[in-house]
Amino acid sequence: MKRRIRATRLLLWLSVFAFVSPGFAGQARVPRDSEEARDLKTFSDRVQAYVKMQKNLEASLSTLKPTKDAAQIVEHQHALARKIADARRDARQGDIFTHEVTEQFRKIIRKAFHGPEGRLARRTIQRETPVKATVLHINDVVPDDMPLTTMPPTLLGRLPELPRELVYRIVGHALTLQDAKARLIVDFIPNAIP
Amino acid sequence: MPALRRSTCLSCVALAALSLSLYTQEVVLPLKPDSVRFLAIGDMGTGEKPQYEVAGQIIAHRGKFPFEFVLMLGDNIYGGHDPIDYQNKFELPYKPLLDAGVKFYAVLGNHDTPNERFYKFFNMNGQKYYTYKKSNVRFFALDSNYMDPQQLSWLEKELQNSGSDWKICYFHHPLYSSGAFHGSSTELRLLLEPLFVKYGVQVVFAGHEHVYERVKPQKGTYYFTEGASGSLRKGNLRKTDLTAVGYDQDRSFMLVEISGDELYFQTISRTGLTVDSGVIRRVAKISGAASWPTVRPWHGGLPGRMMVKAIDVNLTRALTATE
């Protein structure tokens, strides 16, 4: 009888230990989530830092308000792009899409392009005007005559939300992060899109 | 005698051409007092001769159908976006309209740069998606290049808050299309259509496919593609069950008039031929239900047989398309 009580107590303690200890069943889930959260926080912080810099640079230019003078729009875009490129002249691919962030994005993209939803997302891209093979560089301005590839809405629904100063754009098989006004490539993940 | 015969023949040809031009300038819309009148054009900004020819027809038709504003369905400016491009691909072809105070309300196509939203003539006020109201009609101009969750929730909120009789959405990519080049945007449809059904959007305009197509009503909504006001993919319409009327033989534009519960439309080709017309009737809203429209042909002053024949011919040609 005493042995049975001891065994029951032992089992009880073991189950409590299993519940609270990171070495047991709960371990795999908790760190993976926090890892994802940490990586996406890294992305968000770097995006915020970019936006802060971009806003400061744009503040040094005359404010772009809706205008009938197309030259003003074009000049503003070019001036802002020059300033950003100058301020980020040492920027490298992976500054915002760090290795860890890239891994998280690749997972999100894989999910978005699999299953029945994925078929539609792939179709959205395939049905667009083909984009010529392009070698991407940080701080390159996207040519005006390059047609936009539609961003699959289901993918946009899964990716981290961006402030209005930045947009995701697909160029070929790359997922790029672009400045919405300067139309400049801020960072990109090559071969991200199937 | 042969000279007389030749001159008689030439006179007949001239008369036929004259009567054709008079006939083709016919506006079959009812021009009711206080109606909302507008033009819909898409994929026009090439800066090439056909765009100017379509613009010429539009200007000629405005004399008979004085529309107040224009829906631009995207691909407003193709290729380069230097100031000269804004001039040659927009300001010059539509100058008489701009001078007359006609307002243009644009959406972005896949060939546009997002910075067009700062171009005052496009009335986007710096926004990629926006809404405005004309009398009893609420328009929702969307950015179908980038349908993110923020835009979707904005749209739902705006549709929910709109008490207008007519709700019209327009954007670049068609949810339903028989075009062979791109076809229907099915992924976008999965997100937008439930909102259109829930909030009773009666009519949707799109471009992208360089043809004209009126799709049979889908879940109570009427879909028009007008993507041939500058560019054209001749013979690019596939034969599908979707099409109510299609035209892929020349460039075209749409004239639209809304009066009370009726929306009249007339689609006209670059040469002035009416290729489609009709009226969509809005059914009064029953509480808790969307207001479903019904359609009936509206041939106005035009002989219906001629219209049907023209459409039949075009669809037959579309079948032989090799693209």
* CATH number of the structural domain spanning residue B173: 3.60.21.10
The C-alpha of B39 sits at a distance from chain A's nearest C-alpha, in angstroms, of 21
- Calculate the average pLDDT of chain A: 85
Give B65-109 pLDDT, tens digit per residue: 999 999 999 999 999 999 999 999 999 999 999 999 999 999 999
Total domains in chain B come to 1
Q: Identify the burial level of B24 via C-beta atoms within 10 angstroms of its C-beta, where 0-12 means exposed, 13-18 middle and 19 or more buried.
A: middle
Q: Does a structural domain hold residue A25?
A: no
Beta strand extents in B100-208 (DSSP E only): 103-106, 130-134, 137-141, 166-170, 203-206
Q: B187 and chain A: CB distance < 8 Å anywhere?
A: yes
Q: Does a structural domain hold residue A39?
A: yes
Q: Does a structural domain hold residue A165?
A: yes
Q: Does a structural domain hold residue B213?
A: yes
Q: Does a structural domain hold residue A162?
A: yes
Q: Does a structural domain hold residue B21?
A: no
Please measure the distance between the N-terminal and C-terminal CA atoms of chain B and give it in whole angstroms.
50
Helix (H) or strand (E) segment spanning residue B316: helix B304-319
pLDDT at residue B303 is higher than 70: no
pLDDT at residue B11 is higher than 60: no
**Hey, are the CB atoms on A74 and B82 less than 8 Å from each other?**
yes
Q: Does a structural domain hold residue B101?
A: yes
Q: Three-state SS string across A19-72, please?
A: HHCCCCHHHHHHHHHHHHHHHHHHHHHHHHHHHHHHHHHHHCCCCCCCECCHHH
Give A99-115 pLDDT, tens digit per residue: 999 999 999 999 999 87
Q: Does a structural domain hold residue B13?
A: no
CA distances from B203 to B107, B138, B139, B225, B258 (A): 16, 11, 10, 11, 12
Q: Does a structural domain hold residue B11?
A: no
Q: B110 and chain A: CB distance < 8 Å anywhere?
A: yes
**Hey, are the CB atoms on A153 and B188 less than 8 Å from each other?**
yes
**Hey, are the CB atoms on B114 and A124 less than 8 Å from each other?**
no
| pTM for the model | 0.84
Q: Does a structural domain hold residue B18?
A: no
User: Two tokens at B307?
Assistant: 């219209």
**ipTM over the 0.90 cut-off:** no
Q: B86 and chain A: CB distance < 8 Å anywhere?
A: yes
Q: Does a structural domain hold residue B194?
A: yes
Q: Does a structural domain hold residue A2?
A: no
Q: B154 and chain A: CB distance < 8 Å anywhere?
A: no
> Residue A84's domain spans which residues?
33-189
The C-alpha of A144 sits at a distance from chain B's nearest C-alpha, in angstroms, of 5
**Hey, are the CB atoms on B187 and A120 less than 8 Å from each other?**
yes
The residue with tokens 């639209």 is: B256
How far apart are alpha carbons B35 and B134 in whole angstroms?
10
Total domains in chain A come to 1
Q: Does a structural domain hold residue B201?
A: yes
Contact between B176 and B195 under an 8 Å Cβ cutoff? The reply is no
